[in-house]
Structure 1
Amino acid sequence: MNMKRFTAPTTREAMNLVRAAYGDDAVVLATKPCAEGIEVLAMEPEGLAKVQEIAARGAGPGTTVKQDVGTLGMSTLSFQDYVRERMLRRRQAELQGKPDPVMAVPAANPKPARQDSEAERQRRAQAQIAAMRAQRVDSATVRAPAPAAAPRSGSAAQRWQAAGAATRIEPQMDPSPRAVAGAPILSQAAPQPAPRQGPVAAAGNARDEARLRLRQPAEAPLRRNPPVLRDEVPSVPGIEPGDFGAKASRTERERADLMRELKDMKGLIEQRFGALAFMEKLQRQPLQARLAQRLLEAGFSPALTRKLVDACPSAFAAGADEQQWAQAVLARNLQLGATPLEDRQGVFALIGSTGVGKTTSTAKLAAHFAAKHGAANLGLITLDAYRVGAHEQLRAYGRILGVPVHTAHDRASLDDLLDLLANKQMVLIDTAGMAQRDSRTQELLQMLAHPSIRRLLVVNASAQGETLDDVVSAWRAADCEGVVLSKVDEAVRLGPALDTLIRHRLCLQAVANGQRVPEDWLRLSADELLQHAFKPRAESAWSKDGQDLQLVFAGSSAVLAAAH
């Protein structure tokens, strides 16, 4: 019989190994998971026949056990008594020189015994049980002494019954909770003087005493109460239960503070070394230093300036310089609307901070659309109900154009007006001006969260770069249709506005460079805007020279590191 273990990552692979080793008729004995995956214990097909043959040869002891079980099935003997009786039977067979009655295979054919009817087996078992109960004595009776000279004649079964009759005591139930149910209790009796006996009788008595010791039941184990499971954790002396959570949270905070300090230190080191390396590069390459100075003079941020300087080539062809190269790169990165706003259709809402020119830009766009497509295809709505007489300005422009102006106070009225003006090709919505940090800004954005409304962010071109970044973030410019750049005529430097559009990747739709309606509504190209941004200006206190570059880049090291 050949058994073998097969291991594989999956059950399918393990069964393939078994099939390859023993064929399709292999016998699988067991499967279990292991470190390699699945372990299969299998043997060859001929091994099953060998197992059955071995089982057939060893059927003798099993037959004897079945007979004993049939005999004692309805008795009140415990399992310990059953085992002791089998051991006593073996010991008697050894003393008489006979084969083991338990393990010996009967020579006769056991089939007739198996063919006995069920009624006969039950009747025979009941007769044996009645004989056993008749041989028992009351538990209060003193144990009788063994016979002095037991006759050696007779069968082993008779001697076994005699010994059992002398020693078996009726079990009692101990009312104490520590006693086990069904455990026999032996009564203690006073010793009686035994008569004088010869050597043969003394040997017989010694054997009887050995048998009695074998038949004495083991001491009943003490019953233990079941353990009580409790949810509470025993408190440690000197430590409150809440101290563990406080210490854990304090440890977590200290670890977080340490990690934050390490990150800040790492960032500071990288910024300083980066700034030093960049300044050393500018000192070695005058061309890049001159480009950085021009970009900073035009109003571009240090972050965008450093990117351009790092990408700037060390030499140019004849007739070209670093400023022309920078203008070409910036023009490619400045996004412009493909179609003018006055030639498009839909619902547009102009939003932005206070005083950026939303109402004027709405009037300019409305005038251009009415001039091309007619005033009958235009609708005007105002949401500016905060300022006193704010809607009167748009109504004055509407009367000039011949277009009525409607006022919406909330989201419901706005939806009704949009349904009313659904047949118009273009509907313009003028909104109230609010600071980018005002809480009402988010309320206005939620009011304009209509599927058909597209937002246009109006940005003041003369604002500082930091202010423009804050405005773009607060008004969610990334979700807008585009940007209208207003007050270009008031801006001394156009670089901050163009820098914001390039870094945030916003689309420029139109440019407003004055108060006149509709003349000051332009659509400039990227080259025109960059030429205006790089236009030379007179010297002022805000002008920067080569010595100021180190101060600029050292002061904005955090921005440079983030951009890099």
Structure 2
Amino acid sequence: MNVKRYFARTAREAMSRVRAELGEDAVVLKNRPVDGGVEILALADSELSASEPAPSAPPRGAGDAAPASPMSTVNFENYVRERQQRRLASSRDEPGDAGALDERPGDERATASGFGDEPPRHEERRAPRVEAPAVHVSPGFVRDARSTDDRPDVGMLMNELREMRGALSDQLESLSWFEGVRRRPGQSRMLRRLLQAGFSPSLSRTLANHLPADFGEEDAERWLREALVRNLRIDSPEQTIFDAGGTYALLGPTGVGKTTTAAKIAAQFALKHGAQSVGLITADVYRIGAQDQLRTFGRLLGVPVHVAHDVSTLADFLQMYMNRKLVLIDTAGVAQRDERVGELLAALSSAQVRKVLVVNAASQAEAIDETIEAYQGRNAAGVVLSKVDEAVRLGGALDCLIRHRLTLQGVANGQRVPEDWHRPEPRMLVDRALATESRASASFSFEEAELAMLLAAGQRTAAQRAREARRV
């Protein structure tokens, strides 16, 4: 099968090229908009006919003519309809058909057949005749019943044709991707690099598809870094929301570093504005030693720590800290799949409290994605990226921040208080994420063929889901 690609600025120009080279009967397999114009995949009608087995020929009478040309998939439906019409016409033209019912009396049938003196040959096998009321059968009904029995299942044929078309489209998608990689090797290099750095296939494909085709390796590298830096959101490179003060609750699963992060933020604020300007509240009444850990940090900073056992107690402490510039609430760690996440969010629903989600950069990208969804990260004031120093692949965490359009408010990369608390620097984070690819173990690296198979399979799965959605 020789599939040819045609590219032009408009669909009309592309179709003119298809007709000029393949003729008026050319089969258009796919058309899609691309950068700079329209792309059409097509092949000659003879190519498609030669690649598929021809269906069995229908029974022909003396007046039927043989088909003049090989049959293609496009006109197969018309062939089925014409065949049915011929069979229906032949059933009407044959009066002696064995399936037709003769409504004449028995004596007339015998005389007409010329065997009036002999009983029918099937008379001996028939049971004794029982007189029954006459039943009048309409000839039209008989013809309709017979045509229904002989009629092919058109719905089944159409479903098979749709499946064949879908399978052919999937194969053409794979061929198109492979050819695109051959024509644009920079796209393939970018995909492999992003995937090995931990970015999701979805974001990797989006970036690769927007890469200008005429860029060399150095230009593509510069373009990729700028695109990632531009899409990683921060409020300001000079300060974060914590520098302006307010009341913030640190949320997140167990072990992401909420308590240590609260101590780091409080220490930096106390060094600048004084210990009397900071208030610390812990609502973690589940984890053993959680209150003692924050109290220890509070004693070092000269900041008292209060324990809120319920919502009313928390409201009392917030009222007591009305004159403090910065109030931090350390909450209990709840896994993203725990039902208590909703209760925790409801307890902190006060308009005075702004929520900040703490995310472990060393976690799996899928776990970070679930955490953002469970804790309603889109409604939060921002995100703190903790344990950056422990992350082997930082791309997964940055990928989730970019896809969910979250604002990064701070970065923690160690246990030291407050030295390991930093304002977000998108360029530094992007450089670190992409540098991970060069240090990746060979066991987790993609070969060129493996990368192509992975992305082609992903495209086929997405196409199949789209077809199923259209059927539903």
Do the structures match in fold with TM over 0.5? yes
Query: Which residue in 2 is equivalent to 1:330?
Result: 228
Decide whether the 8 Å contact of 1:483 with 1:507 is kept in 2. yes
Query: Which residue in 2 is equivalent to 1:321?
Result: 219
Question: What is the count of residue pairs matched by the alignment?
Answer: 301
Query: Which residue in 1 is equivalent to 2:55?
Result: none
TM-score (norm 1): 0.50
SS at match of 1:556: helix
SS at match of 1:393: helix
Distance between the aligned counterparts of 1:375 and 1:342, measured in 2?
Answer: 15
Query: Which residue in 1 is equivalent to 2:188?
Result: 289
What amino acid is the match of 2:311?
A: R
Which structure is higher in RCO with an 8 Å CA cutoff and minimum separation 6? 2
Of residues 437-446 and 292-301 in structure 1, the stretch that sits farther from structure 2 once superposed is 292-301
Deviations 1:409-442 (A, max 9, x none): 1111111111111111110000010100001111
Distance between the aligned counterparts of 1:560 and 1:512, measured in 2?
Answer: 37
SS at match of 1:294: helix
Give the 3 Å change call, closer, same or farther, for CA 450–558 of structure 1 in structure 2: farther
Give the 3 Å change call, closer, same or farther, for CA 463–452 of structure 1 in structure 2: same
The alpha carbon displacement at 1:554 in A equals 3.5
Residue 511 (1) aligns with residue 411 (2): yes
Query: Which residue in 2 is equivalent to 1:465?
Result: 365
The alpha carbon displacement at 1:478 in A equals 0.3
Residue 537 (1) aligns with residue 432 (2): no
Distance between the aligned counterparts of 1:444 and 1:272, measured in 2?
Answer: 49
Instruction: Indicate the structure (1 or 2) with the bigger Cα radius of gyration.
Output: 1
The alpha carbon displacement at 1:348 in A equals 0.4
TM-score (norm 2): 0.60
Decide whether the 8 Å contact of 2:234 with 2:424 is kept in 1. no
Give the 3 Å change call, closer, same or farther, for CA 375–306 of structure 1 in structure 2: same
Decide whether the 8 Å contact of 1:303 with 1:560 is kept in 2. no
Distance between the aligned counterparts of 2:348 and 2:270, measured in 1?
Answer: 24
Give the 3 Å change call, closer, same or farther, for CA 417–286 of structure 1 in structure 2: same
Deviations 1:47-77 (A, max 9, x none): xxxxxxxxxxxxxxxxxxxxxxxxxxxxxxx
The alpha carbon displacement at 1:280 in A equals 3.1
SS at match of 2:355: strand
Residue 546 (1) aligns with residue 448 (2): yes
Query: Which residue in 1 is equivalent to 2:206?
Result: 307
Decide whether the 8 Å contact of 1:459 with 1:483 is kept in 2. yes
The alpha carbon displacement at 1:314 in A equals 1.6
What amino acid is the match of 1:296?
A: L
Distance between the aligned counterparts of 1:519 and 1:510, measured in 2?
Answer: 13
Query: Which residue in 1 is equivalent to 2:106?
Result: none
Query: Which residue in 1 is equivalent to 2:341?
Result: 441
What amino acid is the match of 1:545?
A: E
Give the 3 Å change call, closer, same or farther, for CA 413–311 of structure 1 in structure 2: same
Distance between the aligned counterparts of 1:351 and 1:544, measured in 2?
Answer: 36
The percentage of aligned residue pairs carrying the same residue is: 49
The alpha carbon displacement at 1:275 in A equals 5.1
Give the 3 Å change call, closer, same or farther, for CA 335–383 of structure 1 in structure 2: same
What amino acid is the match of 1:307?
A: T
- Alignment root-mean-square deviation, CA: 2.6
SS at match of 1:519: coil
Distance between the aligned counterparts of 1:267 and 1:453, measured in 2?
Answer: 53
Decide whether the 8 Å contact of 2:283 with 2:332 is kept in 1. yes
Give the 3 Å change call, closer, same or farther, for CA 273–395 of structure 1 in structure 2: farther
Deviations 1:318-360 (A, max 9, x none): x933122111111111101223244111100000011000000
Query: Which residue in 1 is equivalent to 2:42?
Result: none
SS at match of 1:355: coil
Of residues 445-454 and 281-290 in structure 1, the stretch that sits farther from structure 2 once superposed is 281-290
What amino acid is the match of 1:487?
A: K
Q: How does 1:78-227 map to 2 (within 5 A)?
A: none
Distance between the aligned counterparts of 2:286 and 2:323, measured in 1?
Answer: 29
Decide whether the 8 Å contact of 2:232 with 2:402 is kept in 1. yes
Give the 3 Å change call, closer, same or farther, for CA 266–446 of structure 1 in structure 2: farther
The alpha carbon displacement at 1:273 in A equals 5.5
Q: Which runs of 5+ in 1 are unaligned?
A: 1-262
Distance between the aligned counterparts of 1:340 and 1:551, measured in 2?
Answer: 43
Distance between the aligned counterparts of 1:510 and 1:306, measured in 2?
Answer: 28
Of residues 445-454 and 529-538 in structure 1, the stretch that sits farther from structure 2 once superposed is 529-538
Distance between the aligned counterparts of 2:403 and 2:243, measured in 1?
Answer: 28
Query: Which residue in 2 is equivalent to 1:94?
Result: none
Residue 476 (1) aligns with residue 383 (2): no
Distance between the aligned counterparts of 2:425 and 2:451, measured in 1?
Answer: 31
Decide whether the 8 Å contact of 1:303 with 1:559 is kept in 2. no
Give the 3 Å change call, closer, same or farther, for CA 476–355 of structure 1 in structure 2: same
Deviations 1:287-317 (A, max 9, x none): 2111111111111111111111111112237
The alpha carbon displacement at 1:270 in A equals 7.3
What amino acid is the match of 1:335?
A: R
Distance between the aligned counterparts of 1:269 and 1:472, measured in 2?
Answer: 39
Residue 353 (1) aligns with residue 253 (2): yes
What amino acid is the match of 1:399?
A: R
Decide whether the 8 Å contact of 2:408 with 2:424 is kept in 1. no
Distance between the aligned counterparts of 2:166 and 2:332, measured in 1?
Answer: 42
Give the 3 Å change call, closer, same or farther, for CA 267–435 of structure 1 in structure 2: farther
Distance between the aligned counterparts of 2:339 and 2:329, measured in 1?
Answer: 21
SS at match of 2:318: helix
Which of 280, 302, 322 is 2:179 aligned to?
A: 280
Which of 333, 351, 373 is 1:451 aligned to?
A: 351
Give the 3 Å change call, closer, same or farther, for CA 268–479 of structure 1 in structure 2: farther
Query: Which residue in 2 is equivalent to 1:426?
Result: 326
SS at match of 1:369: helix
